[in-house]
Amino acid sequence: MILAENRVPFGPIFVPENDFDKYNSQVWFIATQLRYYLARITTAPFQIKVDTNQGENGLYIELDKSYLDDEFSINTMGNSVYIRGGKRGVIYGGYELLEMLGCRFFTPHCEKIPTLTKLEIGDIQKREKPVFEFRDTDYGDIQKYSKFASMCRNNGRWSGMPEMLGGSIRYALGAHSFARLVPHEQYRDTHPEYFSFYNGRRQSIKDDHWQLCLTNPDILDIVVDNARKILKENPDKKILSISQNDNPYSCQCENCLKSDADEGSPAGTLIKFVNRVAEILEPEFPDVMFDILAYHYTRPASRKTQTRHNVCVRLCASSTCFAHPYDKCDDRTRAVKHPNGKTSLFIEDLIDWSKVCERLYVWDYTSNFPLYPMPFPNWRVLQPNLKTLAKYNVKGVFEEANCARNGGVDFNELRTYLISKLMWNPDCDIERHRKEFMQYYYGDAAPHLEEYLNMLCDFVERENYHLYIQDTKRPPYLDDAHLEQYNRIFDKAEAAVAGDGVRLMRVQKARLSIRFADVFWNEVLAGNYNAEKINQFFTDLRAHNISRLDEWTNIERTYRAWMDGMERGVLYTAPFRYDAESLL
Ligand SMILES: [Zn+2]
Ligand SMILES: [Zn+2]
């Protein structure tokens, strides 16, 4: 079928009357996107018209309530094309058609759009839905550009999509919500017994061990009342997390210990509690899910109590090696065990949780959080790990990343693109996606950068080096001899795109990882302080709009800390506290 030839479109883009020119209509949004991109391909003046059931040739777009929110179909019939879908799916369907026509949406600022005088398509009969119902990542481009998040088919909290884009699945309370649900200042003087017992006394919010005492009967009423209030104030948010503070110490009072022992894990005590909250609030909030974290002391699954149908669990893959796939790593020295030669501790948790929870989400990690720019050679585990999650029937994935709002180095753009493709379909042809991205985004530098990335991955595989998300020791693949090799590769990569300003800038941005390793370990930690090298590094970070070198603070604080002989600026702030200045 010819869609356009010599600037003549095959027909209009038809939308139902109630979507026509409506700001919040997803159908109208994708119709305008198709008009824009089809014109970019062909320069043909496509028009959007109301569908009056005349059966004319054209591109028909329609919301279909019988589809899942993220599901879509594209069908050709006669001389027309039909896109149908749920509130987000109908938009994905439009972008899918454009991708089938050769468009690629690599980053918010890098799109590959073919130009043709004759645009043709063959017969299309496809219907798609995602493997994971919840797909979230906090890479800067996803946070900042919700249209791009929609192109990447992210639908979680960080995509921040407005109604026009079908909205996101948002948390009314995200994680570590005990302090919001039982305000410490309100009860600390009158009811110290509401808070966890540890080291011989009830804990206060200033203690590192502070949690709630979930077996205290009053706590249930307080949490129900506050959860109700929060859900009423946030009618658009459909998940509320009831999860412990970010420390590994559960309540050690007699009742809690008895419950933990009975359940085989403190997770069971938490599930029993959250099940009650979910049961009480279900009649008022039938479409809300209540979430718990399987993290630190709640990571091992309950052996007894199952989660209710409106309770979901987020299992955190912390303390897991990311150099090797979940089910292949043999590290015995860290948190990852290999007890039977076949499975890691995380796989055991995954299996155990899938037995007691119908709706299991996983909180996965893709970066080194104290050293954001450090090369993190996890490229070859991305697909196997997401395939593993799908195999164990996981329903949602959050891929926690370098969450600096302005993005980061270490190929964050490629990571965003590939991880999004894998969250939609873990069985996708990831090699094709990777090659397409590299060849277009880095141009003639691509083969050199591929060589660099392969060297990193080959090293961790060959040497069986394990990779964790909080390591600050210098990895052997970043010793001086390796840095020298990488620098030679980057010299070639820069030379290959010397006449291509945009791609040269991208290569130089990727090179900041190598420069970071050199400045951090050879200058700052070694006490050398080559002023020219350090200043040039920070000048270039600012030029590339890089705002953070770690999870917790901005580059100016890092600079200050380095000058003061410290490893990072986070030492200036209390742990787990964020201040406005650091949220750049
Ligand atoms: Zn207790
Ligand atoms: Zn490993």
What's the start-to-end Cα distance of the chain, in Å? 49
Residue type, 475: P
Residue with tokens 């791609």: 503
The ligand placed nearest to the CA atom of residue 463 is: 2
Fold of 2-129: Chitobiase; domain 2 (3.30.379)
Cα of 325 vs centre of ligand 2, distance in Å, is 7
Domain boundaries defined on the chain: 2-129
Cα of 183 vs centre of ligand 1, distance in Å, is 17
Cα of 216 vs centre of ligand 1, distance in Å, is 7
The pair phi, psi for residue 4, each rounded to 5°, is: -165, 145
Cα of 469 vs centre of ligand 2, distance in Å, is 12
Cα of 389 vs centre of ligand 1, distance in Å, is 33
Average pLDDT across the chain, whole number: 93
The pair phi, psi for residue 219, each rounded to 5°, is: -60, -35
Q: Per the structure block, which two tokens stand in for 560?
A: 């200050």
Residue with tokens 């009967």: 217
The ligand placed nearest to the CA atom of residue 217 is: 1
Provide DSSP, 83-137: EEESTTHHHHHHHHHHHHTT-EEEETTEEE----SEEE----EEEE--SSSEEEE
Cα of 451 vs centre of ligand 2, distance in Å, is 22
- 8 Å CB contact between 126 and 392: no
Cα of 431 vs centre of ligand 2, distance in Å, is 22
Cα of 465 vs centre of ligand 2, distance in Å, is 6
Chain Cα centroid distance, residue 110? 20
Cα of 456 vs centre of ligand 2, distance in Å, is 14
The ligand placed nearest to the CA atom of residue 254 is: 1
Cα of 535 vs centre of ligand 1, distance in Å, is 52
pLDDT at 330 (0 to 100): 78
Cα of 334 vs centre of ligand 2, distance in Å, is 9
The ligand placed nearest to the CA atom of residue 328 is: 2
- 8 Å CB contact between 431 and 382: no
pLDDT at 569 (0 to 100): 74
Phi-psi region of 130 (alpha: psi -120 to 50; beta: other; left: phi over 0): beta
pLDDT at 340 (0 to 100): 47
Cα of 266 vs centre of ligand 2, distance in Å, is 27
Q: Which of 64, 158, 150, 148 is nearest to 111 (CA)?
A: 148
The ligand placed nearest to the CA atom of residue 468 is: 2
Within 10 angstroms of residue 56's Cβ, the number of other Cβ atoms is 14
Q: Is residue 25 pLDDT above 70, yes or no?
A: yes
Cα of 399 vs centre of ligand 2, distance in Å, is 19
Cα of 460 vs centre of ligand 2, distance in Å, is 8
Question: What percentage of residues in the chain have a pLDDT greater than 70?
Answer: 95
Q: Which of 51, 60, 61, 59 is nearest to 26 (CA)?
A: 61
Cα of 342 vs centre of ligand 2, distance in Å, is 13
**Structure-model confidence comparison of residues 330 and 38, the more confident one:** 38
As a whole number of angstroms, the distance between CA 369 and CA 510 comes to 18
Cα of 13 vs centre of ligand 1, distance in Å, is 62
Cα of 358 vs centre of ligand 1, distance in Å, is 27
User: DSSP secondary-structure letter at 282?
Assistant: T
pLDDT at 345 (0 to 100): 79
Cα of 323 vs centre of ligand 2, distance in Å, is 5
- Where would I find the H helices in 407-523? 412-424, 430-441, 446-462, 480-496, 501-517
Residue with tokens 């409506």: 22
The ligand placed nearest to the CA atom of residue 325 is: 2
pLDDT at 401 (0 to 100): 94
- 8 Å CB contact between 158 and 422: no
Q: Is residue 301 pLDDT above 90, yes or no?
A: yes
As a whole number of angstroms, the distance between CA 449 and CA 455 comes to 10
Cα of 251 vs centre of ligand 1, distance in Å, is 5
The ligand placed nearest to the CA atom of residue 218 is: 1
Query: Dihedral, CA atoms, 61, 64, 70, 74, nearest 10 degrees?
Result: -40
The ligand placed nearest to the CA atom of residue 202 is: 1
Cα of 198 vs centre of ligand 1, distance in Å, is 9
pLDDT at 342 (0 to 100): 54
Cα of 278 vs centre of ligand 1, distance in Å, is 20
Query: 3-state DSSP call for residue 575?
Result: coil
User: Average pLDDT for residues 511-528, to the nearest whole number?
Assistant: 95
Q: Is residue 98 pLDDT above 60, yes or no?
A: yes
Query: Dihedral, CA atoms, 439, 442, 445, 450, nearest 10 degrees?
Result: -70
The pair phi, psi for residue 60, each rounded to 5°, is: -100, 130
Cα of 276 vs centre of ligand 1, distance in Å, is 17
Quote the crossing angle between the two packed helices 382-391 and 345-356, to the nearest 10°: 30
Strands of the 118-120 sheet, one edge to the other: 8-9, 2-5, 118-120
367-384 pLDDT, tens digit each: 999 999 999 999 999 999
Cα of 466 vs centre of ligand 2, distance in Å, is 4
Cα of 397 vs centre of ligand 2, distance in Å, is 21
Q: Is residue 151 pLDDT above 90, yes or no?
A: yes
pLDDT at 343 (0 to 100): 57
43-86 pLDDT, tens digit each: 999 999 999 999 899 999 999 999 999 999 999 999 999 999 99
523-581 pLDDT, tens digit each: 999 999 999 999 999 999 999 999 999 998 899 999 998 988 888 776 444 333 333 33
Provide DSSP, 178-220: HHHHS-HHHHTTT-GGGB-EETTEE--TTSTT--B-TTSHHHH
438-451 pLDDT, tens digit each: 999 999 999 999 99
Q: Which of 275, 280, 319 is nearest to 297 (CA)?
A: 319
Query: 3-state DSSP call for residue 1?
Result: coil
